[in-house]
Structures are given as C-alpha cells and as structure tokens.
Structure 1
C-alpha cells in the first residue's frame, strides 16, 4: 500500500503505525521521521532511538519497529480486523475534528479494504462499508456522499448512539 495514513505530514500515533505494520501498509520511508517525532514528544527507548537514526528504505525499520513498539507499550494488532479497527478509528476521529476531509478518508478506507483482500469482517466495519465511495466522487451526489462518510465515521466511533445524537 503506497498511501500515507496521515494528512499534511502529521505524525501518526504509534498504535496506528503498529496497525499499518500488521496490514502490510507501512510507509517505511516515514518511520524514522515518526520515531524522531515520538522522541521529541518525550517517548524514549533504545530501539526507538536507533529507529529514528535509520535512513529511508532501510530493511532494519522492519526489524526494529516491533521492539520500538514494545518499548512504547504498544501491542501489534493481531489480525487484519484488529488493525483495520485501529486505522478506521483514527481516520474517523481525524475526519470528525476537521484534520482530514471526507474524500481523503474514503481513499484511505479503500486502501485498507484492498490491502485486507476485501476481508468480509473489514468490509463489515462501519467505515469498511464505504470502501467504494471514491468510485462515486465528483458526481452530483457529493454532498450526500460527504454526509454518508461523516455518519460512518460517527458510527465507527460509536458516536451515533442515543446519548450522542447524529
């Protein structure tokens, strides 16, 4: 998977990177930068420091990342569905606070679904259900499509229940 899961060069949470690793969707070129950012945020550990010092496209990223995640007390998700949930929750939160627009979120959801080989359990997730939304982008249904994606984001985060409204 070639797309980044963060807009505007933002640094993803370590848990999102762990999910990307699990899905085989890791942007290896960005990992050393993210590790450096995590260090600047006060997270520390020998593997994380070493990871931050690596060059891009370095195979050692894959070797060090699990140890760095362990240092940060981040568990790698077990399986595609667990990884998709982490990524979808992050995408939904970014959309609902205005850090990512609906079109970008839809494109990232499609990447996750494709990377999971259209796993039925991933497609069944609230955001997974909109995986083909990019196919309809740009048509007369744009306002409805944006609203559909926002509602899927709310549902993904369980913000559409009786106590939250829609």
Structure 2
C-alpha cells in the first residue's frame, strides 16, 4: 500500500488503520511518524510512545507494537478478513468518489486485498470483491464494457452521501476506453 495517490507518507491519518493492519498491507515505515503525531494529538500510552520512537525500518517491530498502540488510542483491531476488507473497500471507494484515485489503481488495490485474504469467497462476494479478475483482464489488453459497468456501479459502495453524488458522473473513461 505504498503507492497511495498523492500520498508521500507526510499525511497523518487518524489512528484507525485497522483494516490495513489486519490485511497485512500497512506501510510500516510511516507508522512511527504517525504515532508521534498521535501522541502530539493527545493520545497516550507506553506502546504508543515506544512505537513513536522506532525508526520504522523493521516491519516486525512496528507490527508487534501497533495493536497495543492502537488499543491505547481506543481503536479495536478486527481479526476477520471480511470486516477488514469491507473497511478497506469503503476507504477505496471514498478515495475514488472524491477523485483521489483512478479506476485502474482501485482495481489493483482490490486485487491486493483479495490476495491478502487468500482469495476468500467471503471477501470476493463483497461488492468490490466481485471485481476479482478485472486486473487480469485489464492487463491482458482491455476491459469489457460489462467489467467497466461493474466498476462504475461499485464506485459508490460505502461512500459518504456527498461523495456518492460526485460518484454519479458518466461511465469511467479509462475503463470504457482502455489504453
């Protein structure tokens, strides 16, 4: 998850990266910096302090401390891939609806989430999970009009009401006319 659109790691998210942690897709080198900002923002706890003091180059150290640090921030870590995928898919659709991510990037992230879940049927059956295979079709030379329509229909999945209105624009040009 290192290739976020317009994100260099300088943005500090709220201490709620639970879905990405559960799916094993969190950019661990950014987390100590985030933890420092969470401390400055009023959160506190020994695991959070220790996490903020890490360099971030050892993902095992970061991942070992993160659940306890999140708990100190009042964030519960979900243990199920389905709940994590649903949260991640909701975040992805919000990025898309807000115009911060393109359809091909979203399809790629959906594939990464499916791979992280071991292609669990329960995750594939989620609305965005049904885009399974679209990345291969896209890479193979084109996206069918059916696939483009499926992506268009799913882009409002979980988006906030204001974002849903923005998501109602015409059929995705990149999906309808692949490069």
Q: CA deviation at 1:33?
A: 2.7
Query: Normalising to structure 1: TM-score of the pair?
Result: 0.78
Asked if the contact 2:97–2:159 (Cα under 8 Å) also holds between the matched residues in 1, the reply is: no
RMSD between superposed Cα atoms in Å = 2.8
Equivalent position of 2:115 in the other structure? 114
1:93 counterpart = 2:94: yes
- 1:151-166 counterparts in 2 under 5 A? 151-157=153-159
Q: CA deviation at 1:68?
A: 1.3
Equivalent position of 1:162 in the other structure? none
Paired residue for 2:2, among 4, 27, 30? 4
- Structure 2's unaligned 5+ residue stretches are 162-166, 169-179
Separation in 2, partners of 1:100, 1:36: 27
Equivalent position of 2:35 in the other structure? 35
Asked if the contact 1:95–1:101 (Cα under 8 Å) also holds between the matched residues in 2, the reply is: yes
Report the number of matched residues: 157
Query: Normalising to structure 2: TM-score of the pair?
Result: 0.73
Separation in 1, partners of 2:87, 2:93: 10
Separation in 2, partners of 1:103, 1:135: 11
1:66 counterpart = 2:67: yes
Separation in 1, partners of 2:158, 2:104: 16
Deviations 1:126-160 (A, max 9, x none): 1101132222326454887555323212134497x
1:32–1:26 distance in 2 versus 1, CA, 3 Å: same
1:71–1:130 distance in 2 versus 1, CA, 3 Å: same
1:111–1:13 distance in 2 versus 1, CA, 3 Å: farther
Equivalent position of 1:132 in the other structure? 133
Asked if the contact 1:127–1:156 (Cα under 8 Å) also holds between the matched residues in 2, the reply is: no
Q: CA deviation at 1:52?
A: 2.0
Q: CA deviation at 1:35?
A: 2.2
